[in-house]
Amino acid sequence: MSAHDETHLPEQPELTHPLLWTVCLLTAIVVLSWWFFDWLSSGRVDGRKHERLERHSLVGEPDHLKLIADRSPAVLASGAALYAKNCASCHGANGVPGPASGTPPRNFHSDGFKNDLGGGPYGFYTVLAKGYGGNMPSFPGLTAEQKYAIAHYVRETFIKADNAKNYAAADSEAVTKQIPPPGAAGGEGGEKVRPDQLEVAAPVQRLMAGMARAEGVRLHDDAVWLAAALTATPPAKRGLLVEIWHLERNRPGLVAEIRHAVAAGDQVRFAALLTGADGSGVVRPVFALASADELAGAFTALASTRAEGGK
């Protein structure tokens, strides 16, 4: 035996194991999957809360020519009040803006108009209806009459008196040709109104109020029904019921569907709603990972609550 063989160190023991790596990998996959679906579910709920749709006004274009011609004292007085409320904070109470950190607002006593349609009545109106550049906002909450009232007030009070070179008594012929007729939809300068800013007729308001009350009653009944099921179920078996209870806060419509499925005795529909097997997507990862026995147990607990008279 050589000296080299005598001094050979023993092999180090294996510090890793394939099974250990497999368990770690599967754990990471489960955690990341749960995080992703929970994030996705929260994003959908938050998106529904903040979603704002924009569409053309249902009443179409106003009678622009009539509104342009009406520069009566009553219109100017209305414009003065509207200007003070909506415009003075940037352009100044007297049409002279104060110091600004960015692009200064227009000084109506000296500045010209950069709007492509000019500073005539209709051109001024389109700036209020659509905004201009990145600093001048639009005013979708104001009616066409209110926008023209502001336009007439500013033009007749500030521009005509102290900025005559930039005052135009009427829009140019080219701009006038672009003014859409009354009732037209989608014309140049047409107003866009968010659904929450549309005026609702009184009968519709009463109908909506009644629907809201009915929805409030339904939500209350659903909450009482779930609370009764939780109370009647042993703590060790409340896992999925607690998760369904959380849905009452951010997915009340889904809870109503779940309740209907339980009332109909449709356990397949119940499971599909929770696991996303109906194509609607996974509600929460915990439901997708739940066993058939766990889903059946939750269904039985909710069905028993209903059978005992709970709502």
Gap between the Cα atoms of 118 and 168, Å rounded: 9
Segment 238-291, tens digit of pLDDT: 888 888 887 766 777 788 888 888 889 999 988 888 887 666 655 677 888 888
Buried b (16+ CB within 10 A) or exposed e, 260-270: ebbeeeebebb
> In CATH, which superfamily holds the domain spanning 64-197?
Cytochrome c-like domain (1.10.760.10)
Rounded distance, CA 303 to CA 126, Å?
A: 60
Give CA separation, 94 vs 55, 108, 124, in Å. 34, 9, 18
* pLDDT at residue 57, as a whole number: 44
| Cβ atoms 58, 198 nearer than 8 A | yes
For the segment 168-226, what is each residue's pLDDT rounded down to a tens digit? Answer: 888 889 988 888 888 776 544 444 555 555 566 666 667 777 777 777 777 788 888 88
Rounded-to-integer distance, Cα 166 and Cα 164, Å: 5
- Give the Å distances, CA to CA, from 238 to 47, 223, 286, 307, 310: 30, 16, 13, 18, 17
Q: Which of 176, 168, 145 is nearest to 67 (CA)?
A: 145
Percent above pLDDT 90 for the chain: 5
pLDDT digits (tens, 9 = 90+) for 85-103: 888 888 888 888 877 656 7
**Confidence band of 14 (pLDDT split at 50, 70, 90):** low
pLDDT in tens, 22-61: 878 888 888 888 878 777 766 665 555 444 444 444 457 8
Give the per-residue pLDDT at 146: 92
Please state, for a pLDDT cut of 70, what percent of the chain lies above it.
76
Domain residue ranges of the chain, discontinuous segments joined by +: 64-197, 202-307
Q: Residue 311: pLDDT band by 50, 70, 90 thresholds?
A: very low
Q: What Rg value do the Cα atoms of the chain yield, rounded?
A: 33
Cβ-proximal residues to 254 (8 Å cutoff; 6+ apart), any chain = 247, 273, 283
Q: List, in sequence order, every beta strand (DSSP E) within the chain.
A: 55-56, 192-193
Residue 9 neighbours by CB distance under 10 Å: 5
Q: Write down the pLDDT at residue 145.
A: 92
Residue 28: Cβ within 10 Å count: 10
CA dihedral 61, 66, 69, 74 (to 10 degrees): -100
> What CA–CA distance (Å, rounded) separates 26 from 67?
70
**pLDDT attached to residue 69:** 92
Cα–Cα dist 220/271, whole Å: 23
Tell me if the pTM is above 0.95.
Answer: no
140, 193 in Cβ contact below 8 A?
Answer: yes
